[in-house]
Amino acid sequence: MNANQIDQQTLLQNEKDPLTHTPVHLLSLDGVGKHYGNIIALSDVTMAVDNGRVTCVLGDNGAGKSTLIKIIAGLHQHDAGVLNIMGEERKFSSPRDALDAGIATVYQDLAVVPLMPIWRNFFLGSELTSGFGPFKSMDVEKMKAITLKELAEMGIDLRDVEQPIGQLSGGERQCVAIARAVYFGAKVLILDEPTAALGVKQSGVVLRYILQARDRGLGVIFITHNPHHAFPVGDRFLLLKRGKSIGYYDKKDITLDELTAQMAGGAELAELAHELEQLGGHGDIVKEVQAEVAGVSDTAQAGGPKHA
Amino acid sequence: MTMTQTKTTTKSAVSDERVARRSAFQKLLGRPEVGALVGAIVLFIFFALVSSTFTQPNALATILYGSSTIGIMAVGVSLLMIGGEFDLSTGVAVISSALTASMFSWYFSTNVWVGVGLALVVSVGIGFINGWILMKTKLPSFIVTLATFLMLTGLNLGLTRLIGGSVSSPSISNMDGFDSARAVFASSVNIAGIEVKNTVFIWIALVAVATWVLMRTRVGNWIFAVGGDENAARAVGVPVKATKIGLFMGVGFCGWVLGMHNLFAFDTVQSGEGVGNEFLYIIAAVIGGCLLTGGYGSAVGGAIGAFIFGMANKGIVYAQWNPDWFKFFLGLMLLLATIVNLIVKRRAELK
């Protein structure tokens, strides 16, 4: 690949922060690493998140994507490198810590409680209260009204906020989780494989919400293993493989084909073709794989998404 | 919903044409305690038919008293179960509380209120230890509280014999403060000629407070969340550990109330009592619609469960049957209630 990798230092050269007049990333990682016992889950990862930009983190299963977001979301602590929030070095000790710093995460399993009504889920952990001291109670009507309004603004036409959230479809639940993060003043929104379990149409809906969140000025981190979902919405792409960064590109420097090729691992496909050839009797499959090695643009259907 | 119906429905800001209006009856059917309520009504009618004394005001007061001694604990146990845990040590913890109050004030010859205060600290402390060990070790609550149950059973017997030299605590009826404590924990109120035990009012008050906490406060939201999906709750910033430990402490508080009633209703406590009662509280909560897996249920449900228990317990006596059959009825009620709950949960999850 001959695409230019991003140099973190020059990334904000032409941009000025309106308050400090110095270029500072909303969130940046510099050489971050993490090991669990003797297993190195992540090493030397560098990336940056800025207002109104979507940073995509791409990688196959076990590439270290989950470890990376767990560090940013405060579930785990990194043990190498530096995590900066607004130019200030931080190490989160709990998810609450990260939330207070404006980092909201929408997990793959969505962090919603299926048996609870939508409005209770929406405000879970940040309930609105009224009254004093021991008589402090939840402002139920206000919370219901806000839930309905916020979801309507995200374009989700809800039927009934009293419904248990488990009754919503996967895409709708995803959108509720995103709307919740946006409402609670998140500056950085982390989306962990939001489209992994969704159909084509629902994925499109979720991608649109990602763009809406971006247009509201949030810094979005979009974790996915599907370059076809990442490329249309992403501004920067960080590729992970076996816990290491194998590429960090700006959208203008890379094409979808190149991205897919890096994801699918061209060399591995060639090796597979070779092995199949030796086994013999798989003529058509060998041809198929060879075709893929040659024209990576076709890997989309066969290679990329099937890794899920 | 057909087209014509849709057209005639006027759409307002809050209502939506896709939601068919639910009648009050349908809303009631969606409540967790509805199975228990139907069961309670059926059981009441049944005993009213087979026994003429069952519906006498005095008999009802007795039934309510029996229900309240289960119901007071069922309040704490229900909330704990909604929070996704359960406690096997509750039965003996009640006795531990009563023994602490009586032995301490007897041994040190203090006013019994000092013992009562210490018992509160011990009861809530037992709850705290249960919750803390559970959160630290991440063992199932079944194991942790089973261990506490065995240890408390041993401590109750061992310490009582060591300090008092007997299997029951010494009588404290002529000590300072006994009468005022009895007035608070074990008196009765005369309502239109019928003596109603004050535990009934304590029970109702506890149910009301628990319901308010559960439905209208942040803590209530957290209790549902930690029981429904602990990881999700943690991820959105709910203090999972504090919530669960607090629930165990709440159970401890209920145990203290009942323990004080047991002590002051008489003046001594048998140190070997209480074993097996923990199941009655759990049964009351389960019959009342609390899911064993957590995340669903209500305090009112637990109260109805306790009432069913009280009716079955006393009803068999009023019907002049052999009380041997009581356990069979209890088992049958439990089985039916859990099946109803299972169906309710499936409907809630899958529609």
Write phi, then psi, for A249 (nearest 5 degrees).
-125, 150
Q: Inter-chain contact B238–A124, Cβ cutoff 8 Å? A: yes
Binary contact (A116, B348; C-beta < 8 A) = no
Q: How far is B295 from chain A (nearest CA, A)?
A: 7
- Residues of A within 8 A of B351 (CB-CB) are 167
Give the pLDDT band (50/70/90) at residue B195. confident
A285 part of contact set with chain B, CB < 8 Å: no
Would the CB atoms of B349 and A167 count as touching at under 8 Å? Answer: yes
Q: Residue B346: give the domain boundaries.
A: 32-350
- Secondary structure, 3-state, chain A: CCCCECCHHHCCCCCCCCCCCCCCCCEEEEEEEEEECCEEEEEEEEEEECCCCEEEEEECCCCCHHHHHHHHHCCCCCCEEEEEECCEECCCCCHHHHHHCCEEEECCCCCCCCCCEHHHHHCCCCCCEECCHHHCEECHHHHHHHHHHHHHHCCCCCCCCCCEHHHCCHHHHHHHHHHHHHHCCCCEEEEECCCCCCCHHHHHHHHHHHHHHHHCCCEEEEEECCHHHHHHHCCEEEEEECCEEEEEEEHHHCCHHHHHHHHHCHHHHHHHHHHHHHHCCCHHHHHHHHHHHHCHHHHHHHCCHHHC
Q: Give the percent of chain B with pLDDT over 90.
A: 47
More confident residue, B108 or A171: B108
pLDDT band at residue B153, thresholds of 50, 70 and 90?
very high
CB contact under 8 A, B224 and A126: no
Q: Which of A113, A120, A125 minimises the CB distance to B237?
A: A125
What CATH number should be reported for the domain holding residue B193?
1.10.3470
- Indicate the number of domains in chain B: 1
Look at residue B156 and give its three-state secondary structure: helix
**In A, which residues are within 8 Å of B296 by CB distance?**
115
Contact (CB<8Å) A115/B296? yes
What is residue A281's predicted lDDT score, i.e. its pLDDT?
Answer: 60
Residue B10 forms part of a structural domain: no
Let me know: does B50 contact B319? Beta carbons within 8 Å.
yes
* Angstrom distance (rounded) from CA A44 to CA B259: 60
Could you read off the pLDDT of A97-145 as tens digits, one per residue?
888 888 888 877 667 888 888 899 888 888 888 877 777 888 888 888 8
pLDDT at B82: 94
pLDDT tens sequence across A266-301? 666 667 667 777 776 666 777 776 776 666 544 444
Find the CB nearest A111 among B18, B217, B235. Answer: B235
Residue B349 binned pLDDT confidence (cut-offs 50, 70, 90): low
B74 assigned to some structural domain: yes
Greater model confidence, B261 or A157: B261
| CB pair distance less than 8 Å for A114 and B236 | no
Is residue B229 within 8 A of residue A165, CB to CB? The reply is no
**What is the model's pLDDT at position B91?**
93
Distance, in angstroms, between B217 CA and closest chain A CA?
A: 5
Nearest residue of A to residue B32, measured between CA atoms: A115
Query: Under the phi-then-psi rule, with left for phi > 0, alpha for psi from -120 to 50, and beta for the rest, what region is A105?
Result: beta
Q: What's the whole-number average pLDDT of chain B?
A: 86
Does residue B24 belong to any structural domain of this protein? no
Query: Which residues of chain A lie closer than 8 angstroms to B212, CB-CB?
Result: 137
Contacts of B18 in chain A (CB under 8 A): 159
What is the spatial distance between Cα A10 and Cα B181, in angstroms, rounded to a whole number? 76
B296 within 8 A of B228, measured Cβ to Cβ: yes
Q: B11: how many CB neighbours lie within 10 A of its CB?
A: 10
Q: Could you tell me if B342 lies within 8 Å of chain A, comparing CB atoms? A: no
The burial of A92, by beta-carbon neighbours within 10 Å (0-12 exposed, 13-18 middle, 19 or more buried), is given as: buried
Q: Which residues of A are less than 8 Å from B22 in CB distance?
A: none
Residue A31 pLDDT > 90, yes or no?
no
B199 or B11: which leads in pLDDT? B199
Q: Assess if residue B206 is contained within a domain.
A: yes
CB–CB of B231 and A109 under 8 A? Answer: yes
User: CA B341 to CA B76: how far, in whole Å?
Assistant: 20
For residue A138, give the nearest of B221, B232, B350 by CB distance: B221
Whether A75 and B224 lie within 8 Å, measured CB to CB = no
Least confident range of A171-185, B41-55, B56-70, B105-119: A171-185
Q: Give pLDDT, residue B285.
A: 92
Euclidean distance between the first and the last CA atom of chain B, given in angstroms as a whole number: 17
Residues B48-97: pLDDT tens digits? 998 888 888 888 999 999 999 999 999 999 999 999 998 999 999 999 99
Residue A57 in this model has a pLDDT that exceeds 70: yes
Poorest-confidence range of B146-160, B298-312, B316-330? B316-330
Q: A129 - beta bridge partners?
A: A138
Is pLDDT above 80 for A4? no
Query: How many C-beta atoms surround the C-beta of residue A283 within 10 A?
Result: 10
Residue A296 tokens, joined? 């990576």
Q: Angle, nearest 10°, between helix axes B299-318 and B277-287?
A: 110
Q: Are B241 and A94 in contact (CB under 8 A)?
A: no
Q: What is the arithmetic mean of pLDDT over B154-158?
A: 93
**ipTM value greater than 0.85:** no
Residue at B10: amino acid letter: T
Tokens for A124, please give them: 């879970």
pLDDT at B185 over 80: yes
Q: Which amino acid is at A233?
A: V
The helix (run of H) or strand (run of E) holding residue B102 is helix B90-107
Residue B13 confidence (pLDDT) above 70: no
Residues of B in contact with A110 (CB under 8 A): 232
> Does a structural domain hold residue B21?
no
pLDDT reported for residue B208 = 95
What is the structure's pLDDT at B258?
Answer: 95
A147 contacts chain B (CB < 8 A): no
CB B277 within 8 A of CB B198: no
**Residue (of B106, B150, B28, B232) closest to A173 by Cα position:** B232
Chain A to chain B, count of Cβ pairs less than 8 Å apart? 92
3-class SS of residue B196: strand
Q: Which of A188, A154, A148, A113 is nearest to B233 (CA)?
A: A113
pLDDT at B307 exceeding the cut of 90: yes
- Is position B8 within any domain? no
What confidence score (pLDDT) does residue A294 get?
66
Assigned domain for B23 exists: no
* Mean of pLDDT values over B134-152: 93
pLDDT value, residue B238: 87
Instruction: Give the percent of chain A with pLDDT over 90.
Output: 0
Please give the residue of chain B at the shortest CA–CA distance from A158.
B16
Best A124, A130, A156 residue to mutate vs chain B (most B CBs within 10 Å): A124
Give me the mean pLDDT over the A254-269 stretch.
74
pLDDT value of residue B93: 95
Tell me whether A115 touches chain B (CB under 8 Å): yes
* From B228, B238, B296, residue closest to A125, measured CB to CB: B238
Q: What is the pLDDT of residue A46?
A: 86
Question: B326-350 and B299-318 helices cross at what angle (nearest 10)?
Answer: 150
The verdict on residue B9 lying in a domain is no
Instruction: Please tell me which of the candidates B216, B218, B229 has its beta carbon nearest to residue A113.
Output: B229
Q: Could you tell me which of A115, A95, A150 has the C-alpha nearest to residue B221?
A: A115
User: Whole-angstrom Cα distance, residue B148 to residue B92?
Assistant: 9
Question: How many Å apart are CA A67 and CA A65, to the nearest integer?
Answer: 5
Tell me the three state secondary structure of residue B140.
coil
Half-sphere exposure of A246 (CA within 13 A, CB side): 19
Edge-first strand listing for the sheet containing A103-106: A88-89, A80-85, A27-36, A39-49, A244-250, A236-241, A54-59, A219-224, A188-192, A103-106
Q: Which of A113, A119, A147 to mutate to test the interface with B (most CBs of B within 10 A)?
A: A113
* Lowest-pLDDT range of A86-90, B1-5, B209-213, B217-221: B1-5
Shortest Cα distance from A249 to chain B (angstroms)?
Answer: 30
pLDDT at B191: 84
Supply the pLDDT for residue B348: 59
Say whether pLDDT at B5 is over 60: no
| Residue B14 predicted with pLDDT over 70 | no
